[in-house]
Amino acid sequence: MVDTPRTRYAYLGPAGTFTEAALRTLPDAEQAELTPADTVPAALDAVRSGAADAAVVPIENSVEGAVPVTLDELANGHLMITREILLRVSFALLARPDTQLEDCKRIVTHPHAAAQCRQWLAERLPHAEVLLASSTAAAAAAVAEETSEFDAAIAPPVAARHYGLDVLASEIEDTPDAVTRFVVVSRPAPPPAPTGADKTSVVAFIRDDHPGALLEILEEFAIRGINLTRIESRPTKERLGKYCFSIDCEGHLTEARVGEALMGLRRVCAEVRFLGSYPRADGVRVCPRPGTTDADFASAAAWLAALKEGRV
Amino acid sequence: MVDTPRTRYAYLGPAGTFTEAALRTLPDAEQAELTPADTVPAALDAVRSGAADAAVVPIENSVEGAVPVTLDELANGHLMITREILLRVSFALLARPDTQLEDCKRIVTHPHAAAQCRQWLAERLPHAEVLLASSTAAAAAAVAEETSEFDAAIAPPVAARHYGLDVLASEIEDTPDAVTRFVVVSRPAPPPAPTGADKTSVVAFIRDDHPGALLEILEEFAIRGINLTRIESRPTKERLGKYCFSIDCEGHLTEARVGEALMGLRRVCAEVRFLGSYPRADGVRVCPRPGTTDADFASAAAWLAALKEGRV
Amino acid sequence: MVDTPRTRYAYLGPAGTFTEAALRTLPDAEQAELTPADTVPAALDAVRSGAADAAVVPIENSVEGAVPVTLDELANGHLMITREILLRVSFALLARPDTQLEDCKRIVTHPHAAAQCRQWLAERLPHAEVLLASSTAAAAAAVAEETSEFDAAIAPPVAARHYGLDVLASEIEDTPDAVTRFVVVSRPAPPPAPTGADKTSVVAFIRDDHPGALLEILEEFAIRGINLTRIESRPTKERLGKYCFSIDCEGHLTEARVGEALMGLRRVCAEVRFLGSYPRADGVRVCPRPGTTDADFASAAAWLAALKEGRV
Amino acid sequence: MVDTPRTRYAYLGPAGTFTEAALRTLPDAEQAELTPADTVPAALDAVRSGAADAAVVPIENSVEGAVPVTLDELANGHLMITREILLRVSFALLARPDTQLEDCKRIVTHPHAAAQCRQWLAERLPHAEVLLASSTAAAAAAVAEETSEFDAAIAPPVAARHYGLDVLASEIEDTPDAVTRFVVVSRPAPPPAPTGADKTSVVAFIRDDHPGALLEILEEFAIRGINLTRIESRPTKERLGKYCFSIDCEGHLTEARVGEALMGLRRVCAEVRFLGSYPRADGVRVCPRPGTTDADFASAAAWLAALKEGRV
């Protein structure tokens, strides 16, 4: 009997963060080898080098917006998104046993968590000092140390059990129903087969900064009835005012309208990086506008071929 | 020795009109068999039935605009434009010998000629009555009759010699440099090879009268950098306010940007009739916008194919 | 007691044509003074000179398309459309009493009528000769002459009684339900008050023939949610390929979205001629897209004024 | 003699960061009262409450992109940008006297600085641990402590003198010529007078997530020839996939084309927040497209007014 090799996942660590929780929602996570990485670039480098088969990293949060480092790393190429994961994000205030809420003077957490709980902190602990850690898990770990200089950590509730802390308050985020979107990233390969409920991600670098360059890009999608689900401008790091656009659209690379739109982008842009076509986490099926189904494209192509042969 | 069969041309007659003059500019006209037809539909029916190999008919005049009957007949299908001819149009006032200008009380001509000389008539012969004939040649012929009820005809100068008339005044048109565009029409066949200075003609029937339907059509051309050289709305004869659009654009069916635009039209329109790709009479070469050459399309297609195979 | 002066109407004559029938549908026609004119330019010149208060002329037919001479005359300015009239158009074959259908060898009519009855003639009188007159009424009059060289006229049925002719066949038009649209034209004046179901007519001359010039014009309407009900390209008579656009849109000059669109046209075009805002003959009320009502424009203007004063 | 009151500036502190350097480039900085704030919201709240007259905060960096917290705080309203400042950003490695480069094992800095020096660190100090502080100045201060747990800080060179540190290496950023853009923010007031080289900033909240909503926004600018210099999507914090757009465009609120575009945005969007019109730091003058100058708008408005009075 031959064992299927276990998938080796890298993820933005440490253990106990939302990224691990997202990774654990994957069907093969239980059998897989999970390795935390210190940073998003480190997780993705593990994939590039072959040390990992895939990486799970956050890409977007409904409150904080895009995760710039993930967008920038993906734009650098040699990687492909094969799946997305949506995870509801909720924070708790964790402390060592016997700590009272009113004793919390020094609170440690990741900057994003601090930002998402700003209002709660202002109301309930107006005099507390908020200090920053590199992750919510690192914050929880720092609080768990015996000689800790911190009184409490803002972290995912699961970190409580992991680090032996008590939950002083839960769901303390200012915006309930905050969701973070994670992506599973692999080395380049043919995209997973279309499911009818897919998304495609690309990065488009405009040819020059002429007015209307973004309009041109959007028109390549609009004219073929393709909705965008996300668009972010990102600096290209060359100079202020020079951007690329990170775009998610509905549909799959192998669908004719998406393929033609991507070829259109490729023609009008200086460069286009394809980041993957993959099933939507929300399962919403795409309903192509009349005239934009694969059958419509095939019929138009057959018509054009007939015209070239003089059959009208 | 085998003779090449002579091309049989039908044209909008009678002999002595501008259409014959246009036809005679064709290189093979001298060897060809030229048959006048009473009407544009009759000339085109001769092609459809095989009685003629090709027909020459007027399609557009720089003063009067489109020739509706030609547009409508072409929209009915089963014909293809293979060539266009531009002819400068100039009118003369022709009369029987010994007629003086001031004697001209009853002047006969075709309605279009009357329209194009309106101002000259108002100034020089303000009291003359203008009567209508079915063609300028018919007008000249009517004046040439011994018992003619007419004093003079407005006709092409060449009709003078043909009908034994004198030229009382020449270049009497209100707009000098008026040009008429004629098309050579054949049965459907593969279009003549691209020359780099080509035009493509189509008729587009919009799917329904939603606002923006025409905008959609224009965008299929604009997004691919294709200039239109003519656009005419024509009623579809179903009801007032229901139109089709007769369009000439730069480029050739076999060029990628034109082919893709036509397929786009086909997908967004209820119906598209291809009327031909053929050399421009003015010989102006098309300079495709960056990103729209055949090489750009080929490179984008190769890129898309590579993406589908996982090569990014 | 002072009499209201009777309105003096000029119309495209002669008496007995569809234009007279259209004019007679006006509420004040019975009290008015109706004067036929030989041509559309003559009817409109009567208005320009003050000889008439208003003119009624055909502008568009659901089968034949635009009436070019009317479009061109209106584009020349100094006139304003104040009303439109829709009239169902039906033709009859009229002959002197005791003529049989099979005796009709020479049939006279106006070119448009000939075009609209082409199929019926081909089927029922395939050997008849069709001759042209300057109007259907002139054709009927010609047939009514004792020594007429014609056997029958194609004309409106009302011409039968007028000229003492018999109806040999009625509703002989190829397209039943053909409609002609007429306009009532006056000297420039403030347009009639908006009714909520109005149309506005303009002629737009593009600044130069740059690609996308028509697209620019259409976008001025589209961006403000204004539907076009008619668009015709017309040659400007300068040279082939140089056009102006004759446009009817929904809405009234005094409505904010229409006013702003017209100002936009004025800015992007070489010239714009306003031809009038007037009630739609079909009474269809315009339902402005959200964000384009007069209230929306007023609210946006108030907001902008507040911003300029530093109130945000 | 009456003293002009000194302007009270709040800025993102602590002292010694790039924001202070940016603030010090202002002509009135020397006479002003400068108060560092712990966070961007705190600096802006000082303005809102009247504790400060204006605040200087970073908004965008040519490497890291937008500063989300600044965009989000400005979108919350009651503030106005009155000026922008561009500052070249360069980092140095600072340590206590007598520290050698090879001794640096624990380096502390702000996350953005760490990101911008990632490559240099990987090459020169591959084994060093990078720890995060809330600002580069805080990092320098932490290194300056006698019992510091850190060996060196990445900070602006000016922080060396401020905290008594040595410069171990300078210009260590991966992207030379990185620029950060700061804005001066005041309470709402009429914007500074137009200079001919101005920028306008707004936040647009789309009405619903219909496809093409962003296209609609861009068209309001494009149709009036207004170039965008920056566009960022930001989550509205309601749910994933719901965005607002933070936009900088060329031109000034009081210019007609900008005013009309803003009113257009206001009509098509759920909400528009005006953030200010102010001189461009780069002094580039705007050259309006033909048809979009204030004179063109004025002429079109006069024309429309004349039409309403019947003068055509």
Place of tokens 């853009």: D181
- What backbone phi and psi angles, to 5 degrees, belong to B264? -60, -45
pLDDT at D239: 65
Distance CA C106, CA C104 (A): 6
Q: What is the CATH number of the domain that holds B135?
A: 3.40.190.10
Torsion of CA C89, C93, C97, C100, to 10 degrees: -160
- Contact yes or no for D77 and C223 at CB 8 A: no
Q: Which of C111, C138, C170 is the last residue of a domain?
A: C170
pLDDT at C164: 93
If one counts every other C-beta atom within 10 angstroms of the C-beta of residue D160, the result is 22
- The number of distinct structural domains making up chain C is 3
Contacts C302 to D, Cβ<8 Å: none
Q: Strands B106-109 and B152-155: what pairing?
A: parallel
What is the average pLDDT value for chain C, to the nearest integer? 90
Q: Are residues A185 and A71 in the same domain?
A: yes
Residue-wise pLDDT tens digits, D212-270: 788 899 999 999 999 888 888 887 766 666 778 899 999 999 999 999 999 999 999 99
Q: Which of D157, D189, D221 is the last residue of a domain?
A: D189
Contacts B263 to A, Cβ<8 Å: 297, 300-301, 303-304
Contacts A290 to B, Cβ<8 Å: 207
Residue-wise pLDDT tens digits, C42-59: 999 999 999 999 999 999
pLDDT at C136: 87
User: Whose CA is closest to D80, among D219, D223, D201?
Assistant: D201
Are chains A and C in contact at 3+ CB pairs closer than 8 Å? no
Q: Are residues C155 and C15 in the same domain?
A: no
Evaluate if residue A33 carries a pLDDT over 60.
Answer: yes
- Contact yes or no for A235 and D63 at CB 8 A: yes
Q: What is the CATH number of the domain that holds C281?
A: 3.30.70.260
Evaluate if residue C13 carries a pLDDT over 60.
Answer: yes
Residue-wise pLDDT tens digits, C151-195: 999 999 888 988 999 999 999 998 887 889 999 999 999 999 999
User: Whose CA is closest to C224, among C275, C276, C293, C300?
Assistant: C293
C-beta separation of A210 from A277 below 8 A: no
Among chain A residues, the shortest Cα distance to D60 is held by: A240
pLDDT at D2: 55
Can you state the angle between helices D68-75 and D40-49, rounded to 10 degrees?
Answer: 30
Residue-wise pLDDT tens digits, A220-231: 999 999 988 888
User: Whose CA is closest to A97, among A165, A163, A38?
Assistant: A165
Say what the ipTM of the complex is. Answer: 0.88
Specify the higher pLDDT residue, D312 or A121: A121
- What backbone phi and psi angles, to 5 degrees, belong to A246? -95, 120
Evaluate if residue D182 carries a pLDDT over 80.
Answer: yes
Contacts B239 to C, Cβ<8 Å: 62, 177, 179
Number of H helices, E strands in chain B: 10, 15
Among chain D residues, the shortest Cα distance to A179 is held by: D240
Q: Are residues A61 and A185 in the same domain?
A: yes
Q: Are residues D163 and D202 in the same domain?
A: no
Distance CA C35, CA A228 (A): 62
- Contact yes or no for D190 and C290 at CB 8 A: no
Are chains B and A in contact at 3+ CB pairs closer than 8 Å? yes
pLDDT at B122: 86
Q: B–C: how many Cβ contacts below 8 A? A: 105
Number of H helices, E strands in chain C: 10, 15
pLDDT at A138: 86
* DSSP H or E run through B45: helix B40-49
Q: Are residues C194 and C287 in the same domain?
A: yes
- Contact yes or no for C267 and D78 at CB 8 A: no
Give a yes or no: residue D312 inside a domain.
Answer: no
Q: Are residues C259 and C135 in the same domain?
A: no
Contacts A235 to D, Cβ<8 Å: 60-65
Range of the domain at C84: 1-89+178-188
Q: Which of C128, C157, C188 is the last residue of a domain?
A: C188
- Residue B196 corresponds to which tokens in the numbers above? 């780099």
Q: Are residues B118 and B52 in the same domain?
A: no
Give a yes or no: residue C251 inside a domain.
Answer: yes
**Which of D233, D238, D245, D282 to mutate to probe the A interface, most A CBs <10 Å?**
D233
Reported residue count of chain D is 312
- Contact yes or no for B111 and C111 at CB 8 A: yes
Q: What is the DSSP letter of D191?
A: P
Task: State the pLDDT confidence band at B240, using cuts at 50, 70 and 90.
Answer: low
User: Whose CA is closest to B235, among C90, C134, C177?
Assistant: C177
pLDDT at B137: 87
Give a yes or no: residue D311 inside a domain.
Answer: no
Q: What is the pTM of this model?
A: 0.85
C-beta separation of C238 from D234 below 8 A: no
pLDDT at A198: 97
- Contact yes or no for C115 and B69 at CB 8 A: yes
Evaluate if residue B120 carries a pLDDT over 80.
Answer: yes
**Which of D266, D274, D297 to mutate to probe the C interface, most C CBs <10 Å?**
D266
Distance CA D9, CA D54 (A): 5
The b/e string for D38-51 (b: 16+ C-beta within 10 A; e otherwise) is: ebbbebbbbbbeee
pLDDT at B164: 93
Residue-wise pLDDT tens digits, A83-107: 999 999 899 999 999 999 999 999 9
Residue type, B50: G
Rounded to the nearest 5 degrees, what angle is found at the Cα of C113, between the Cα atoms of C111 and C119?
105
- Residue C243 corresponds to which tokens in the numbers above? 């056009």
Distance CA C113, CA D142 (A): 96
- What backbone phi and psi angles, to 5 degrees, belong to B246? -95, 120
Among chain B residues, the shortest Cα distance to A258 is held by: B304
Range list of β-strands (E), D189-296: 198-206, 228-235, 243-250, 269-279
Evaluate if residue C39 carries a pLDDT over 80.
Answer: yes
Q: Are residues B195 and B244 in the same domain?
A: yes
| Mean pLDDT (whole number) for A74-86 | 91
pLDDT at C104: 94
Residue type, C37: A
Residue-wise pLDDT tens digits, A172-213: 998 887 889 999 999 999 999 999 999 999 999 988 766 678
Q: Are residues A231 and A268 in the same domain?
A: yes
Evaluate if residue C85 carries a pLDDT over 70.
Answer: yes
| Mean pLDDT (whole number) for C232-260 | 86
List, as one string, the DSSP characters of B159-222: HHHHHT-EEEEE---SSTT-EEEEEEEESS-PPPPP-SSEEEEEEEEESS--TTHHHHHHHHHH
Contacts B208 to A, Cβ<8 Å: none
Torsion of CA C93, C96, C102, C106, to 10 degrees: -70
Q: Are residues A84 and A153 in the same domain?
A: no
Evaluate if residue A1 carries a pLDDT over 60.
Answer: no
Residue A230, classed as helix, strand or coil, is strand
pLDDT at A2: 55
- Contact yes or no for C188 and D300 at CB 8 A: no
pLDDT at A209: 61
For chain D, how big is the Rg over CA atoms in Å?
Answer: 23
Residue-wise pLDDT tens digits, B260-310: 999 999 999 999 999 999 999 999 998 999 999 999 999 999 999 999 999
- Contact yes or no for C233 and B230 at CB 8 A: yes
Evaluate if residue B45 carries a pLDDT over 90.
Answer: yes
Distance CA A269, CA C235 (A): 37
Distance CA B37, CA B44 (A): 9
| Mean pLDDT (whole number) for A138-150 | 92
| Mean pLDDT (whole number) for B215-234 | 89
Give a yes or no: residue D309 inside a domain.
Answer: no
Evaluate if residue C243 carries a pLDDT over 60.
Answer: yes
pLDDT at B239: 65
Task: State the pLDDT confidence band at D19, using cuts at 50, 70 and 90.
Answer: very high
pLDDT at A140: 94
Specify the higher pLDDT residue, C292 or B206: C292
Q: Are residues A81 and A127 in the same domain?
A: no
| Mean pLDDT (whole number) for B66-83 | 88
Q: Are residues A83 and A184 in the same domain?
A: yes
pLDDT at C272: 95
Give a yes or no: residue A307 inside a domain.
Answer: no
Give a yes or no: residue A271 inside a domain.
Answer: yes
- Contact yes or no for C273 and D80 at CB 8 A: no
pLDDT at B305: 96
Specify the higher pLDDT residue, A279 or D64: A279
Maximum mean pLDDT: which of B121-130, C125-134, C189-198? C189-198
